[in-house]
Structure 1
Amino acid sequence: MPSMTRQGNNSGNSRNGKTSKSVRSQNREIELDIPRDRNSTFEPTLIGKNEKQLNGFDDRIISIYSRGLSTRYIQAHFKEVYGVDVSASFISQVTNAVMDEVKRWQQRPLDALYPIVYLDCIVV
């Protein structure tokens, strides 16, 4: 029976410990242990290198901000609802990332005519 060896064993690129990483999720902040290898070739697939939050976090910030709420209110909301401390500067970074798109949408040319259809119904 062949011996079971771990991938990378005796290849010059074996495991080299782990690093801790704090990641924001929709419900709370999560502490992760990210494995390392000697050649630094390990690429996490779920949460990439230098990413600090799971998918959907930025979308929630933009959704709240689009309703006209301030960054301080959003900060308080995330603390109250999710128990996560989010800095006002982080919220500003997220909202500034979409501001160019918002400005383009606001300055788009409008059509001369918009047809509207009204429907009415009575159920007896």
Structure 2
Amino acid sequence: MKNKKEMTCIICPNGCRLEVIYGDSLIVKNALCPKGEEYASNELINPVRNLTSTVKVSNGELSLVSVRSNKPVPKEKMFEIMKILKDVELEAPVGFHQIVLKDILGSGADIITTREVKRVDKK
């Protein structure tokens, strides 16, 4: 049985509008480069995304620090990870690429900071 799906490839700036026919085999139409076919295959089998967000910081020069996953995480776990991050609070000082959460939800990805936040002692 053949199934058909349309998707936009997000790997490069071309943003190819792919027509994907799948079932016993995979046919990808409208891909301007080989990455489109790989993207379509991965998107059907195991869609993943890079996660970016923020977490709270106490006693820091900033009240939030940006974080990201150090590798893509399963798309299906994104909202659950975001719920977990909502309750995370780091104590300043915060280092660049500091691991916030290791192997989040068994994904193999760590959540890391993307900048430093210096400590501010309140008087």
TM range (shorter): under 0.3
Task: Work out which structure has the larger RCO, using CA pairs closer than 8 Å and 6 or more positions apart in sequence.
Answer: 2
TM-score relative to the length of structure 2: 0.27
Per residue, is there more strand in 1 or in 2?
Answer: 2
Per residue, is there more helix in 1 or in 2?
Answer: 1
TM-score relative to the length of structure 1: 0.27
